[in-house]
Amino acid sequence: MASNNDLSVILPRVLIVSRRSVRKNKFVDFVGEYHLDLIVSYGAVPVIVPRVNGVHMLLDSFEPIHGVLLCEGEDIDPSLYEAESSGLSPEELEEIRRLHESDTAIDKEKDSIELRLAKLCLERNIPYLGICRGSQVLNVACGGTLYQDIGKELSRKLPENQRVVHMDYDNYDGHRHLVKVVENTPLQCWFKDSLEDGKMEILVNSYHHQGVKRLAQRFVPMAFAPDGLIEGFYDPDAYNPEEGKFIMGLQFHPERMRHPDTDEFDYPGCPSAYHEFVKAVIAYQKKLNSSTSVPKPLKLNQEMENKRRIIVRSFSLAKNLYTAGGEMATIKESELQAGAEFLESNTALSVQQENRLKQMGATVRNGGNYMQKLKLNEERERLARNVMGKMSVEQLSDLMSFYHMMGQICSEVLERKLHGIVSDINN
């Protein structure tokens, strides 16, 4: 049996971004207990990503990532989608801010963190479950848009009998409204025992004044409110929990659909989204572990091993020559030759590595070529820094994500080629 210290390696990790609030005049970060309880109960470990400035640039530190759950929070920055098409006047926007004061304070750092995670999941097929705001983040990350305010943009255009109250501050946890479940979707499967014949309807809770306006092309709706608002969607091409695939957004909170003063769910299907999500997370972890096993050290034949030792000795002598101030009289020039030739033919060393080797004396030959290459790299670095300095945070995040993906691909291809070389040598 594994010890407690091994559980962090064995159990899959689900990243959840915290929400920031003020308590005793200080910021505190928190995540709703129902999310954490359900994730743990189904066999995964919730890893809380704090909403702290700069964290969106440090997400690699949270690897390995086996799943991402994004939930409640403030409104997404309207500049991240087509907000100018809302047609809302400055007076209407001010009224919205007064009505929904706790939700309309834009948190750009949380936006950056969560959009970066959503795009990472889409690029690497990491299981993703978005609840409420998390569903909106997913839609925006894929090019969809949002209603800045459902009441101003949608409800007032409809007859009275089609309007839906999506936020009731006087009955926060008790408020429910109907949604119609779409056939042949995961939502129908989860709530099938609670759907009346011919109606395909359930009552859901509602805590939002924004919602999906234009659904991103890759997604399929799973439920609609009577006013036409999409209450749930998923990517059918990225949904197979048994194979580690799960990309989904729910506008309502199934984890909070419980009878008053009890933990009993309104419907047996309420926790299914979390159950299937964690199932996908576990399968994704197994798939990731099987494809990223620690590579075995290369086994060289005797001839290549002898050459390796000669090169290592050459660099060792060069280091001693540099650090101890030794004289060439005590070292044969031919012993330094192997290191110099290796360095001349090698193009995969970083500038820092080459600079260090030059200091050690290993590049005493070919010094002119080295200096030219160093100056060229310095100029390229200067130009790159200049260009990146003019880029936005979102552009830099996208660029970093792209090169992270390319680095992974490069590592995989390099590993296959190296193993191919070793196989040829052994044969």
CB distance 412 to 295 below 8 Å: no
Told to judge if 142 belongs to the known catalytic residues of this protein, a careful annotator would answer no
Q: What is the CA radius of gyration of the chain?
A: 28
Residue 255 annotated to the active site: yes
Question: Could you give the strand order of the β-sheet that contains 245-250, starting from the edge strand earlier in sequence?
Answer: 45-49, 13-17, 67-70, 128-131, 245-250, 230-240, 220-224, 177-181, 201-204
Longest dimension (CA), the chain: 98
Nearest-5° angle of CA 141, CA 227, CA 136? 15
- Directed axis angle between helix 108-124 and helix 133-141, to 10°? 60
Query: By the 8 A CB rule, do 70 and 117 touch?
Result: yes
Q: Kindly name the residue from 71, 100, 114, 132 that is annotated as catalytic.
A: 132
Helix 33-41 to helix 272-291 angle (10° resolution) is 60
Query: What is the rounded CA–CA span in Å between residue 40 and residue 42?
Result: 5
Choose, from 153, 255, 276, 354, the residue flagged as catalytic: 255
121 is a catalytic site residue: no
How far the first Cα of the chain sits from its last, in Å, is 40
Catalytic residue among 253, 276, 354, 394: 253
Catalytic residue ranges: 132, 253, 255
